[in-house]
Amino acid sequence: MDVSSKTSNDISFDDFKEQIISDYEIAFLSRTCSLLGRKEVLTGKAKFGIFGDGKELPQLAMARSFKNGDFRSGYYRDQTFMMALGLLKPKDFFHALYATTDIEKEPMSAGRQMGGHFLTHSLNTDGSWKDLTKQKNSSADISCTAGQMPRLLGLAQASKVYRNLKGLDGAKFSVNGDEIAWGTIGNASTSEGMFFETINAAGVLQVPMVISIWDDEYGISVPAKYHTTKEDISKVLSGFQRTESEKGYEIFKVNGWDYTALMHAYENAADIARQEHVPVMIHVKELTQPQGHSTSGSHERYKDNKRLEWERDFDCNKRFKEWILESGIANNEELEAIEKRIKRTVREAKKQAWEEYLQGLLAAKKTLVALIEQASGKSPNKNFLNKLKNDLIATEEPIKKDLAISARKALRFLLGESSAEKAALIDWTSKFLQEAQDIYSNNLYSENENKATNINAVAPIFKDDSEQVDGRVILRDNFDKLFEKYPNTLIFGEDTGAIGDVNQGLEGMQEKYGAIRVADTGIRETTIIGQGIGMALRGLRPIAEIQYLDYIFYAMTTLTDDLASLLYRTAGKQKAPLIIRTRGHRLEGIWHSGSQMGGLIHLLRGMYILAPRNMTQAAGFYNTLLKSDEPALVIESLNGYRLKERKPNNLGEFCTPIGKVETIKKGSDITLVSYGSTLRIVEKAAKELLEVGIDAEIIDAQTLLPFDIDKDVVESIKKTNRLLVIDEDVPGGCSAYLLNEIIEKQGAFKYLDSAPQTLSAKAHRPAYGTDGDYFSKPNREDIFEKVYAIMHESSPNDFPKLR
């Protein structure tokens, strides 16, 4: 629906006037920050700036309808919104530009993210949840345009779950599911698949999501005609509009410079989403970019004079001011007094932020200058050290890098000398580097007590008469225990619900636990992960199922950009303990036998990657993960569901430890490291090797990220002095990673008598059928021959040439 100008009936004129003046103040404050922010970049104090100018007005309207418990999932234009809610102060804004690393001063990411990336803190310092119903929440932005969409779906879905699922403890997360998830996206970014996928899924799921499209008709230099069919996203999406008989969206279209129309649209949107749990789209048109896209270029290069003139005329702040004057809400003098005051405030905030930013660095510089001076006293390189010191003194506004370089260079000039002063300099340098490194590298994984690698192993208990069952039965019965034990656990994916997953690992679970907790979804991997991230951000324990490992790559950007980076980019202030369940490895054909582990372990640092060899180990990983609060990917072995395993008596209780390898067979001649389905083939090959007198030790890596934190593999190599890593990834994939861990990190090279080797799959995708598998992936004979060749090389007499 088109929204025209109307004043709100619900509040008195005085209140309305007060609201308008307060909104004008925020609009002007935000704009002043944008203007000064750009200058800070152009004068070199900050490296990059992307601001919210030209989008102020609709964000004020959104902020007015945003309540405690609500969540935002937006992008870099939303500074006015954050300022309106008091979540971003001008001083914070400048600290973010300078990349201050103190989280108290730069609450958005402790300097890890560029300015313009917003968040609120969901966690206390010990990693426990704050009461999110008592604060206004923003999930942490990412730079990838439209990357905020998948998680938006999950944030909205959480309200639906909290409203409709009985027996949940949502105390810190929801009040009857009344919370809205508010999304924002630029017009050009609506071209992304993630946008369309999310829009469709939210329409299907009917979740309380309000998505605002800030339409300035450009995506950097590219105008709307290259982005959007009919150059009008709400027109194109009008088929999503709900009708009396069909569920869908409520769609609003409103001009971004029209204050009262915006207020009206947002109030309506909020009512519909909050009460009815219906998704709403607000297409905010006729927005502008007063300073162009970012500090990287000027828009005069690609906008003609007519467009630039139109943008000046339709600048939402200018129009807002004109409207205030015309309506007699305030006069020019009053507004100018406000503007003057705000300009002073912002200038002062900027100055203070810069001084605070420099404070610690100047103190460190002073100490370092003194240390270099003292250490140079008796040095033959005194002149060089003096020059170094004077250069440092001349660096009036040093950054950490300047200090690190000076200290490290000074130590080079002192090579071979020995003095107490030099020792003091070494001490300072080591401490400085270590502290700085920690500032930039901490919180990749949880640093709290219940981090996944701290969860103790609990062995499965077997009785003498323990049943031998299909592996999938162990998973199913273990999930049953978990759903019973953790009421906030839910699982969803393609064919996950009614049929209980394609391999029956969830057989009967939907009947028992209901369609909210065990749910079917559309075929849309990215938003399945998004559902998981969003719900995990709001206290639920989702398990998102990706039907086959080969299809996880549809969701890879969301996994790597959003989930894996979350704890790190928020400096530990947000967590999404999402478990992803999938199945892979050697079944049949190019897309059902995937083992692209190298790609996963490299792109998903910040998550755990677990490749259990059987379903008991897999079930144990789920049990461990639910005791922890970190995100993980569990890859079940596709050809293992029908293999017989003994059923443990302590289902739901036994825990497979994370970060620990397991020795499957003892041996003395060579250490074989493998994981997943390939491990079974290695075991068979090892039996055949015994027949020719080669006794191999077999180690199951099983947790690839992290790998072998106790360094057990090197202990095995100390005994066998030989190493072969076997997997079914491409050459140089996961096997190379494991080799690096064992040789370099564990220092195994010292104990090797033969060159360490890898045996992996071919570089191409695995061909279909039994022969396709045999000639694509390492088979029993390959393993036998590779091991034999290593033994032949070291003792040709004992092991004569095979062929």
Ligand X SMILES: Cc1ncc(C[n+]2csc(CCOP(=O)(O)OP(=O)(O)O)c2C)c(N)n1
- Contact between 53 and Mg ion per CB under 5 A: no
- Residue 777 binding target from ligand X, Mg ion, none, CB below 5 to 8 Å by type: none
Longest dimension (CA), the chain: 103
Coil, helix or strand at residue 291? coil
β-pairing, 209-214 with 280-285?
parallel
Q: How many CB atoms lie within 10 A of CB 339?
A: 17
Q: State the binding partner of 643 from Mg ion, ligand X, none, CB within 5 to 8 A by kind.
A: none
107 or 116: CB nearest ligand X = 116
All residues at 6 or more sequence positions from 230 whose CB lies less than 8 Å from its CB, including other chains: 236
Question: Based on CB atoms, which residue is closest to ligand X, 77 or 585?
Answer: 77
143 touches, from ligand X, Mg ion, none (C-beta below 5 to 8 Å by class):
ligand X
Give the shortest CB-212-to-ligand X separation in angstroms. 11
Terminal-residue alpha carbon distance, the chain: 78
Query: Which of Mg ion, ligand X, none does residue 189 bind (CB under 5 to 8 Å by kind)?
Result: ligand X
CB of 186 to ligand X, least distance (A): 2
284 or 403: CB nearest ligand X:
284
Rounded distance, CA 119 to CA 117, Å? 7
The answer to whether residue 288 forms part of the interface with Mg ion (CB under 5 A) is no
Partners of 670 in beta bridges: 696
Burial 654-668 (b: 16+ CB within 10 A, else e): bbbbbbbbbebbebe
User: CB under 5 to 8 A by kind: which of ligand X, Mg ion, none does 293 bind?
Assistant: ligand X
Six-digit token string for 727:
């997997």
We find the least distance from the C-beta atom of residue 605 to ligand X, in angstroms, to be: 20
Q: Which residue has the tokens 């405030």?
A: 345
Q: How far is the CB of 293 from Mg ion (least distance, A)?
A: 8
Provide, rounded to whole angstroms, the least separation between the CB of residue 246 and ligand X.
29
Place of tokens 């003792």: 795
480 is in the binding site of which of ligand X, Mg ion, none (Cβ under 5 to 8 A by kind)?
none
**Residue 345 touches which member of ligand X, Mg ion, none, C-beta under 5-8 Å by kind:** none
Looking at the Cβ atoms of 191 and 702, the one nearer to ligand X is 191
Strand order in the sheet with 608-610: 518-520, 489-493, 541-546, 579-584, 632-637, 608-610, 703-705
- Interacting residues toward ligand X by CB under 6 A: 77, 143-145, 186-189, 214, 216, 218-220, 293
Comparison of 77 and 786: residue with beta carbon closer to ligand X = 77
Annotated catalytic sites, by residue? 592
- The C-alpha atoms of residue 49 and residue 641 are separated, in whole angstroms, by 52
CA neighbours within 13 Å on the CB side: how many for 610?
31
- Residue 77's binding partner, choosing from ligand X, Mg ion, none, with beta-carbon cut-off 5 to 8 A by kind? ligand X
- Give the helix ranges, DSSP H, for 692-742: 712-720, 734-740
**Whether the Cβ atoms of residue 585 and residue 577 lie closer than 8 Å to each other:** no
The residue among 218 and 257 lying less far from Mg ion, judged by its C-beta, is 218
User: How far is 450 from 629, CA to CA, in rounded Å?
Assistant: 7
CB nearer Mg ion, residue 233 or residue 699: 233
Q: Give which of Mg ion, ligand X, none residue 145 binds (C-beta under 5 to 8 Å, depending on kind).
A: ligand X
Position of minimal CB gap to ligand X: 186
Q: Decide whether 188 or 388 has the Cβ nearer to ligand X.
A: 188
Q: How far is the CB of 72 from ligand X (least distance, A)?
A: 15
Residue listed under structure tokens 């004079």: 305
Minimum distance of ligand X from residue 301's CB (angstroms): 15
* Short-list 711, 716, 713, 735, CA closest to 725: 735
User: HEC string of 210-265?
Assistant: EEEEECCCEECCEEHHHCCHHHCHHHHHHHHECCCCCCCEEEEEEECCCHHHHHHH
Q: How far is the CB of 219 from Mg ion (least distance, A)?
A: 5
Please, what is the minimum distance in Å from the beta carbon of residue 220 to ligand X? 5
Give the Cα separation of 159 and 276 in Å (integer): 12
- 3-class DSSP state of 640: helix
Nearest Cα to Cα of residue 702 among 669, 686, 678 = 678
Q: Among residues 54 and 657, whose Cβ is nearest to Mg ion?
A: 54
Q: How far is the CB of 216 from Mg ion (least distance, A)?
A: 4
Q: Which residues of 116-153 are buried (b: 16+ CB within 10 A; e: fewer)?
A: bbbbbbbbeeebeeeebbebbbbbbbbebbbbbbbbbb
Q: Which is nearer to ligand X, 224 or 325 (CB)?
A: 224
Omega prior to 706 cis, within 30 of 0: yes
Asked if residues 588 and 597 have their Cβ atoms less than 8 Å apart, the reply is no
Return phi, psi of residue 724, to 5°: -135, 125
Pairing of strands 723-726, 71-73: unpaired
Query: x/- binding map, residues 179-218, to Mg ion, per CB under 5 A?
Result: -------xxx---------------------------x-x
Question: Judged by CB, which is closer to Mg ion: 188, or 580?
Answer: 188
Burial class (CB in 10 A: 0-12, 13-18, 19+), 229: exposed
Q: Cβ of residue 217: shortest distance to Mg ion, in angstroms?
A: 7
Element (H or E) spanning 545, and its range? Answer: strand 541-546
Residues that bind Mg ion (CB under 5 A): 186-188, 216, 218
